[in-house]
Amino acid sequence: MFNTNKNAEDPAQDEPRDELPLTPWLDDKANPETLREMLRDVIDPEVGINIVDLGLVYNVRLADDGVAAVRMTMTTPGCPLGGYFEDEIHKCLWGAPGVDQVDLQIVWDPPWDPYEMMSDWAKEQLGWR
């Protein structure tokens, strides 16, 4: 139903990232670190930076039953992009080895703090460095 959505115009694609684990798929299943890296393809359309570098993704897990659980926040409780992010995260992770279902949980604690949670690369892109 959903396919991985690769955004070739993502400026973060050109930046060095932490190396992926040597075995991105364990026992024919994606590991959480690989799923988190895949989420870099989900771009916040308001600022043009991916949700991982923005610091919006708090946790990624993959359960034995194939449920990829993503715990994230938004920049503000009134952010109108909740449905957009949910769709994009499902498109991004659906079909990864071992992922049969995606469970997105939006949380507000801890509250998002761009100065503490954004990557240095994202801060640089926004002119904060």
Domains annotated for the chain, with CATH where assigned, are: 25-111 (3.30.300.130)
> According to the model, what pLDDT value does residue 114 have?
94
pLDDT category, 27, cuts 50, 70, 90? low
Question: Average pLDDT, stretch 23-51?
Answer: 86
In the structure encoding, which two tokens stand for residue 102, read together? 């995606």
pLDDT at 10 over 60: no
In the structure encoding, which two tokens stand for residue 19, read together? 């190396």
> According to the model, what pLDDT value does residue 1 have?
27
For residues 36 and 38, give the distance between their C-alpha atoms in angstroms, rounded to a whole number: 5
Nearest of 104, 101, 24 to residue 64 by alpha carbon: 101
Q: Is residue 45 reached through a cis peptide bond, with omega within 30 degrees of 0 on the bond before it?
A: no
pLDDT category, 62, cuts 50, 70, 90? very high
Q: What is the model's pTM?
A: 0.77
For residues 61 and 31, give the distance between their C-alpha atoms in angstroms, rounded to a whole number: 8
Nearest of 32, 107, 39, 19 to residue 67 by alpha carbon: 32
> According to the model, what pLDDT value does residue 6 have?
35
pLDDT category, 63, cuts 50, 70, 90? very high
Nearest of 79, 77, 99, 98 to residue 89 by alpha carbon: 99
